[in-house]
Structure 1
Amino acid sequence: MHKIADLISIFAATFDQSYNTRLVKGEHEPIYIPSCDKTPYHQIVFAHGFYASALHEIAHWLVAGDKRRLLEDYGYWYCPDGRDKQKQAEFENVEIKPQAIEWLLSTAAGFEFNVSVDNLNGEQTCRFDFQQRVHQQVLTLINNGFNSRTEALLKALSHFYNTPWPMSAQQFNWQHPKELTDAV
């Protein structure tokens, strides 16, 4: 049901002309590459043809402002897997909004979302605490509205996958497992 070719086409129809940006299937690690002499368009390169990776990389692009979209990987640092507790906390803080947007995109596409702490070989943190923070950001975005690029893609995905639009907080019912056990 979720073909990467469909997502690439939806993205192209929404942003190719207006933002000169294309979604590109990569073979290795994801990266954002601004246009240059060799490639006259911006590239959101996602990993290994994975649908979830494409949604995540699109989310980073939707968060990035005009100036950031002129820099490779938006000019952000990336500390690879194996982060200590402090670096993991920094990573999670910058990932809240992109992962909230990824959750919204996934829902618009009728695709299952899984929060990612992306630190398999590092110090483990509570995935559910992070998901709770991402969930709160989802609700904030729904209540406060989306930037124009995010809204355009959410509408396009909802139209293509025949999911509810406009989105509502009721579509994002989630409780921290601790809250569930406390309620019993």
Structure 2
Amino acid sequence: MPEPGADQIVNVFNRCFAGAGQWHTRLVGGAPEPFYEPGEGDAGSQILFTLDYAASALHEVAHWCVAGEARRKLPDYGYWYAPDGRTEIQQQEFERVEVAPQALEWIFAESCGLSFRVSADNLQAGLGASDTFRDNIWRRVQDLCGRGLSERAGIFASALAAQFDCGNPLDASRYCRENI
């Protein structure tokens, strides 16, 4: 089966979360850079992802799922971010804060049959993902498979798995450390 396109992932997310209910958040592609815009008043929040990349959509949804209620009221969740070209120390901090979203991204990718690739997001500096970063992502996935996902992440992973007929995304045996 071919990998899903970003538009299919957008449709699944928006069916789950775009309504005027508890989360009132839309996933929107085509942005030059990923960004989260909190809603004000009756306007819902928006998760913007890069161009039409399915992996970018899943990654940005993962950040949304990790962000608590207070952070979801802040532009781009109030997160620290240093762009491409980070120093080694900045890269270590990036890897520390990216374990949780990249672990969720892997589960979401598995939920819809999309290939997952760890992102060091630092091409200019030539610093790829460290083995420690890869190990930590794999361990976090194993932990999530054992204890379950948060409500939003669980809703999204289940909806993706149902839409793309991909089985149980929380089967820990599906995740092989050597594949990332």
- Asked if 2 retains the 8 angstrom alpha-carbon contact of 1:82 and 1:121, the reply is yes
- Asked if 2 retains the 8 angstrom alpha-carbon contact of 1:11 and 1:153, the reply is yes
Q: Which structure 2 segments of 5+ residues have no match?
A: none
Q: Secondary structure of the equivalent of 1:175? A: helix
Task: For 2:104, give the aligned amino acid.
Answer: I
Which has the larger Rg? 1
Q: Which structure 1 segments of 5+ residues have no match?
A: 178-184
Give the alignment's TM-score, normalised by structure 2: 0.91
What does residue 57 of structure 1 align with?
Answer: 60
Specify which of 20, 26, 40 is matched with residue 22 of structure 1.
26
What does residue 149 of structure 1 align with?
Answer: 152
Give the alignment's TM-score, normalised by structure 1: 0.90
Q: Distance in 1 between matches of 2:179 and 2:8?
A: 33
What does residue 181 of structure 1 align with?
Answer: none
Q: CA deviation at 1:129?
A: 3.0
What does residue 182 of structure 1 align with?
Answer: none
Q: Distance in 1 between matches of 2:6 and 2:169?
A: 24
CA deviation map 1:38-74 (0-9, x unaligned): x811000000111110000000000001111010000
Q: Secondary structure of the equivalent of 1:96? A: helix
What does residue 48 of structure 2 align with?
Answer: 45
Q: Distance in 1 between matches of 2:79 and 2:157?
A: 25
Q: In the alignment, is residue 10 of structure 1 matched against residue 5 of structure 2? A: no
Q: CA deviation at 1:123?
A: 5.4
Task: For 1:145, give the aligned amino acid.
Answer: G
- Asked if 1 retains the 8 angstrom alpha-carbon contact of 2:145 and 2:170, the reply is yes
- Asked if 1 retains the 8 angstrom alpha-carbon contact of 2:144 and 2:170, the reply is no
Task: For 2:27, give the aligned amino acid.
Answer: L
- Asked if 2 retains the 8 angstrom alpha-carbon contact of 1:4 and 1:51, the reply is yes
- Asked if 2 retains the 8 angstrom alpha-carbon contact of 1:132 and 1:175, the reply is no
Q: Distance in 2 between matches of 1:166 and 1:113?
A: 13
Q: CA deviation at 1:36?
A: 3.1
* Identical-residue share of aligned pairs (%): 38
1:73-152 equivalences under 5 Å are 73-122=76-125, 124-152=127-155
Q: Distance in 2 between matches of 1:99 and 1:166?
A: 15
Structure 1 outlier segments of 4+, above 4 Å: none
The count of corresponding residues between Structure 1 and Structure 2 is 176
Change in CA separation of 1:165 and 1:76 when aligned onto 2, cut-off 3 Å: same
Change in CA separation of 1:128 and 1:29 when aligned onto 2, cut-off 3 Å: same
Q: CA deviation at 1:121?
A: 1.2
